[in-house]
Chains A and B, each alone.
Chain A
């Protein structure tokens, strides 16, 4: 297994991950900045991810992160994935929001929101202070009105 997993996963998006085996990459590298994402409705009111979508913030961030990594590889860009052009990040955000909406546990509740917006929050330590920088990176709207309650 010690050789099989690294070999088998060497060309995958996540080398070292082959459930239930893992190289446990979480928190293996600390950098002087990081980020997370959150989801709001189109009026920027935050949505409780676990309650409405049955998803966790951590999983939404991982999904967004993965899309950014793939877009960065595809575009051959040399900037960090969180600093990709807003247009590129928008593409990733829209894909994540569509995935989130499609797999939501409470479909009617999600569609009643009219749309979703993904926000990226950068966290950095500068000049002795922690700073946060929030950017709305992408949104989707639901074309069909919510189904009437039975």
Chain B
């Protein structure tokens, strides 16, 4: 039993295969591309999604002329210049070109520099309008980590030094991306503990009110009556508060201990699947998409392609590989 637990929690650096790293590049590139095209909203209709991917960046537009509530770098610099059409448009198109270069295998230190600057400055400006959005936060955090990993790799290569754990540049960047995702979850859990005074679990019974709020807000976004199909649910939830606490209570320890998922493939998959399930439950109940969180968990933590390959690979080859 103890041996099994030791094996489960043993640190085994996650060494992605070359194929996986290519896939991770494609996924990250396409997710960033979505922030200038919104193609993911139509992913179930591939042709419509492809059209959005190719056409929307040409008409995407930031209309901000002021930054009345400066956030992040906007507290130090005026970022409104980035929304001026004669600057924004060429930068956006150059960003797309850089993303294509990244997906084609150009080192992240070069190819992700422009997407990083444009994404973070643009979203910082948007967040300086009076309402802070968190939709792409984890995605931009991953972008930052991968770029930092890319620069670090180049510096080490130039100095002739190996990367930590003898990682390749791609493996190192993926490891840093995972650390960024895990850190975001841990911080989120600590904030819940701090802001709720430790009562987050018991107060989760009031989640029903937020389900009502979110469903109604979703309706007023589009006036689509489909957003109100779950109107019966909050009353049921309030009548069964323990159900709410059980359902959402498990999210807190998952987030708090998300860093355990960094130890090895098994734990990464375990925490990845659990957090993905949590996000899916929240999406169903509260109509909050969490699309970037979900895809990043699948890509960097769960990595289903690796497990499928392990399952179909003959055991002898596996043994030889090990």
Give residues in A with beta carbon < 8 Å to B.
Answer: 12-14, 16-36, 38-39, 46, 48-51, 56-63, 66-67, 96, 99, 103, 105, 121, 123-125, 128-130, 132
Contact = CB atoms under 8 A, between A and B. Distances in A.
B95 interface: no
Given A19-B120, A103-B129, A25 B206 contact: no
A46 B209 contact: no
Given A36-B216, A46-B220, A48-B221, A29 B235 contact: no
Interface in B198-234: 200, 203-210, 212-213, 216-218, 220-223, 234
A23 B191 contact: yes
Contacts of A62: 130-132
Interface of B: 63-64, 68-69, 71-73, 75, 120, 123-124, 127, 129-134, 137, 140-141, 143-144, 184, 187-188, 190-192, 194-196, 200, 203-210, 212-213, 216-218, 220-223, 234-235, 238-239
Contacts of A16: 191
Contacts of A124: 209
The secondary structure that dominates the A interface is mixed
A46 B223 contact: yes
B241 to A, nearest CB: 10
Nearest to B120: A20
Question: Which A-B residue pairs are the 4 nearest by beta carbons?
Answer: A62-B131, A57-B217, A24-B188, A59-B131
Nearest to B138: A20
Contacts of B68: 99
B195 A25 contact: yes
